[in-house]
Amino acid sequence: EPEEVKAAARRAAAHCASRGVDIAKLALQFSLGNPDIATTVAGSANPDNIRKWAQWAAEPIDTTLLTEVQAIFAPAKNLGHREGLPENN
């Protein structure tokens, strides 16, 4: 991944942590609540994770935090892993 994406992810995770929220929670809630995402798959061999994620899914998303995290990622939006021929990316 481009360094800009990694740096934005580190800043976003740190920002969530400073607010007492696991960025994974925000990501799960975002994907479950986004009508443009048809399917969200989360899996773990650890039953405690599954219970935690089910609880997160039932809780409302922190829309203020989501907006803040989206602003952190904005400069890196649409930068991603490139594969194959440049014209196909």
**Domain interval for residue 19:** 3-77
List the one residue out of 3, 1, 11 whose CA is nearest residue 71. Answer: 11
Question: pLDDT band for position 89 (50/70/90)?
Answer: low
- Whether the CB-CB separation of 56 and 16 falls below 8 Å is answered with no
* Residue 29 CB burial class (10 angstroms; 0-12, 13-18, ≥19): buried
Residue 83 domain-assigned (yes or no): no
Predicted TM-score (pTM) of this structure: 0.82
Residue 18 domain-assigned (yes or no): yes
Instruction: Name the average pLDDT for the chain.
Output: 92
Residue 41 domain-assigned (yes or no): yes
- Whether the CB-CB separation of 56 and 23 falls below 8 Å is answered with no
The pLDDT of 13-32, averaged and rounded, is 98
Residue 86 domain-assigned (yes or no): no
* Residue 12 CB burial class (10 angstroms; 0-12, 13-18, ≥19): buried
Number of domains in the chain: 1
Residue 88 domain-assigned (yes or no): no
- pLDDT tens figures, 52-76: 999 999 999 999 999 999 999 999 9
Residue 85 domain-assigned (yes or no): no
The pLDDT of 13-35, averaged and rounded, is 98
